[in-house]
Amino acid sequence: MNSTSKTSFRNKVPSRLSRTIFGRNFQNPVLLAAGTAGFGNEVAGVTDVTRLGGLVTKSISLHPRAGNRSPRVAEFRGGMLNSVGLANPGVARVAADHLPRLLRLAPPAQVLVSIIGFQLDEYAAVIDQLGDVSGVAALELNLSCPNSAAGGIEFGADPASIEAVVKTCRAHTTVPLIAKLSPASPNIGTLARAAAAAGADAVSVVNTMPGRLLDRSGQTRLGAGRGGVSGPGLLPVGLQATAVVLESTEGLPVIGVGGIRSADDVRQYLRVGATLVQVGTAGLADPRLPERLVRDLELRGV
Ligand SMILES: Cc1cc2nc3c(=O)[nH]c(=O)nc-3n(C[C@H](O)[C@H](O)[C@H](O)COP(=O)(O)O)c2cc1C
């Protein structure tokens, strides 16, 4: 093969993998999941983010958060347990520094921004203070955080709260909104319908699953006691959630997250009907893995 035909082969490849969603072109369906790549800075030098479909930032709150006490992560046979506690520098720092830098460095990969609030108004305040979001493909609403006005019950645990968050955010931005749901609810279809009714443009499933691990002395392995389970054990959970959300919402776009370690795992999500996928834990252990997944999909198809 001469160099011209090599180039033309390469030029044709992305079109097979590309996806259009949120009015934007994703060069491939592989994104980095929220909280596992910071704002791109945490993977700089080891991951070529520009080769990916996109990156979701770690969740941003109104005020800086130091996060939970250590240890914050513990491994087990089925994956990982973490209690990072939504540590982040707060929206002002992100708007002034992290987000503009990421928007310069990531393209053609898309940038999605994850936001959290501990009260309804905080979601809106984070959106209002994000600054120039013209380069942001979508805002992913992390609904797995306690609503302090409702005694600490997670926003994502009940359809009315999900509707309230999505509607409030919708009123504050024209950027596409993604509701990220937890797998802990037995009625994830009802939750997704609530998000769709309130104006969400897509749903991400799944966030981590509540969990706890003890050491031999009976002490909890995480400083915070409980945490969120991620990694391989979540693969069937995320696939099932993807299928249920698609059935329940009659086709609201789904971003499949949970347990992806191989290109075949990605293919499973795409065959179930996910439009995009996100890779979290597997990329923490092996930062070059997401790029290899893209390469495999390019070479062997989806
Ligand atoms: C260390 C760590 C930090 C995370 N932080 C966030 C976060 O800030 N916001 C969020 O929505 N999800 C967060 N998640 C959840 C992931 O985005 C993802 O939904 C979950 O880990 C399942 O995917 P995986 O099995 O590929 O890791 C975090 C996960 C891990 C392991």
- pTM for the full predicted model: 0.94
In a domain, residue 17? The reply is: no
Mean pLDDT for each 10-residue chunk of the chain (302 residues)? 44 72 97 96 91 98 95 96 95 97 97 96 97 96 88 91 97 98 94 98 97 97 95 98 96 97 98 98 96 97 94
Instruction: Report how far apart the first and last C-alpha atoms of the chain are (Å, whole number).
Output: 24
Is the C-beta atom of 30 inside 6 A of ligand 1? Answer: no
Q: Does the Cβ of 34 fall within 6 Å of ligand 1?
A: yes
What is the span of the domain harbouring residue 196?
25-300
CATH of the domain at 197: 3.20.20.70
Kindly report the protein residue whose alpha carbon is nearest to atom 21 of ligand 1.
Answer: 230
Q: What confidence score (pLDDT) does residue 15 get?
A: 63
Cα of 56 from ligand 1 centre, angstroms = 10
Q: Give the chain's radius of gyration (CA, Å).
A: 19
Cα of 209 vs centre of ligand 1, distance in Å, is 10
Atom of ligand 1 nearest to the CA of 257: 23
Asked if residue 234 has its Cβ within 6 Å of ligand 1, the reply is: yes
Catalytic residues: 145
Tell me how far apart the alpha carbons of residues 192 and 162 are, in angstroms, rounded to a whole number.
Answer: 9
What separation in Å is there between the alpha carbon of 60 and the centre of ligand 1? 13
Answer whether 257 contacts ligand 1 (Cβ < 6 A). yes
Q: Are 82 and 61 in contact (CB under 8 A)?
A: no
Dist. CA 9 → ligand 1 center (Å): 35
Residue 268 in domain: yes
Residue 8: predicted pLDDT: 45
**35 ligand 1 Cβ < 6 A:** yes
Asked if the structure places residue 176 within a domain, the reply is yes
Ligand 1 atom closest to 56 (CA): 17
> Does the residue 119 lie in any domain?
yes
Which residue, among 241, 31, 36, has the nearest Cα to 137 in the 3D structure? 31
**Is 20 among the domain residues?**
no
Q: Could you tell me if residue 9 is inside a domain?
A: no
- Can you tell me which residue has the tokens 């509607």? 167
pLDDT of residue 11: 47
Strands 254-257 and 79-82: unpaired
Structure tokens at 185: 């609810």
The pLDDT of residue 151 is 83
In a domain, 65, yes or no: yes
Residue 204 maps to a domain: yes
Number of domains in the chain: 1
Contact 301, 294 (CB under 8 A): no
